[in-house]
Amino acid sequence: MWAATTNSDVISRWANRWRTSVWAVHLGASGLFAVDLDAHGGTPPAQPLNGLPWPQADPPPADGIDTYATLAALSGGVVDTTTFATDTPTGRLHLVHTDGERRWKTSRGYVRDGDDTVRTGLGWQIDIKANGGYVGLPGSVSTAGPYRRASTTTTPTPPAAWLVDALTRTGHDRTATPARRPPVCGGGRRAPACARYAASALRSACSQLAAMEPNTGRNRKLFRSASRLAGMAEAGWIDRPAVEAALAQAAHHGGLPAGEIRYALASGFARPRRAPDIRSAA
């Protein structure tokens, strides 16, 4: 049963009726969120933190508690032991913090198949539980065993400044205005690879446009090509005038009228797509 209430009379009736239930707190509605640190084993990825390089001198983390402790240290903070915390029967640790504005989003820190880097949540085996989630309360007993209080207090505290910064950096802030993320390529030794990628993309688009027959979606193809290459132009991988001239020439060769070409190009550059992650090409 997943019902929730703050009515003490209802809670008493539930306690008398379901004596073996696992009691939990409803996150979000209670103005709380939890950092859920897993300990389910497995091989850690090469980069266990989302958006931060793992310190070369440190051993790989054994679990979410290790990952979280390293994140705190890299962020100039420490793991908060002054907030309400619970040890679960499966070895997890729940750190519960206040979230009166329901600011934070739920997430799960894991590695996608075939990857060696955590790109979601805060890091490997770190989950954020917020609106709509639950965490078990000390005193409850599940089939796996008892939930035990791991803190000296039963009062949740606000998240530390370093944790707020980390959650904001990794996109957990539901009140933030989404910002255009920079393309993953950068400068230095990767710049030539980006330029080669963009030039190849332009040649491929032009070749396809020039060979297209009428009534086969030439307008749409030109718009999508312009939109894709506009993002690369914004990132500095290729010059916009060169892109516009080459696409216009290819579309003209394919038989598109000049007015349609100008409109499709303008529309595409007005809606640039984010340049792709081409680190593997560098």
In this prediction, residue 181 carries a pLDDT of: 52
Considering the chain, what percentage of its residues have pLDDT values greater than 90?
Answer: 57
> Mind listing the pLDDT tens digit for each residue in 206-217?
999 999 988 888
In this prediction, residue 281 carries a pLDDT of: 40
Whether the predicted pLDDT of 105 surpasses 90:
yes
In this prediction, residue 180 carries a pLDDT of: 54
> What's the rounded Cα separation, in Å, for the pair 81 and 211?
66
Strand 24-26 and strand 134-136: the pairing is antiparallel
In this prediction, residue 190 carries a pLDDT of: 52
In this prediction, residue 136 carries a pLDDT of: 92
Give the mean pLDDT of the chain: 88
In this prediction, residue 21 carries a pLDDT of: 80
> What's the rounded Cα separation, in Å, for the pair 148 and 79?
19
Whether the predicted pLDDT of 97 surpasses 50:
yes
In this prediction, residue 179 carries a pLDDT of: 53
At 142, is the secondary structure helix, strand, or coil?
strand
Query: Both tokens of residue 21?
Result: 């239930």
Query: Both tokens of residue 11?
Result: 């809670």
Give pTM, 2 decimals.
0.62
CB 147 within 8 A of CB 22: yes
> Mind listing the pLDDT tens digit for each residue in 21-60?
888 998 978 899 999 999 988 999 999 999 999 998 899 9
In this prediction, residue 193 carries a pLDDT of: 82
In this prediction, residue 83 carries a pLDDT of: 97
Considering only residues 281 and 169, tell me which one the structure prediction assigns the higher pLDDT.
169
Total length of the chain: 282
At 156, is the secondary structure helix, strand, or coil?
coil
In this prediction, residue 112 carries a pLDDT of: 86
> What's the rounded Cα separation, in Å, for the pair 22 and 177?
38
In this prediction, residue 131 carries a pLDDT of: 85
Across the range 194-205, mean pLDDT stands at: 92
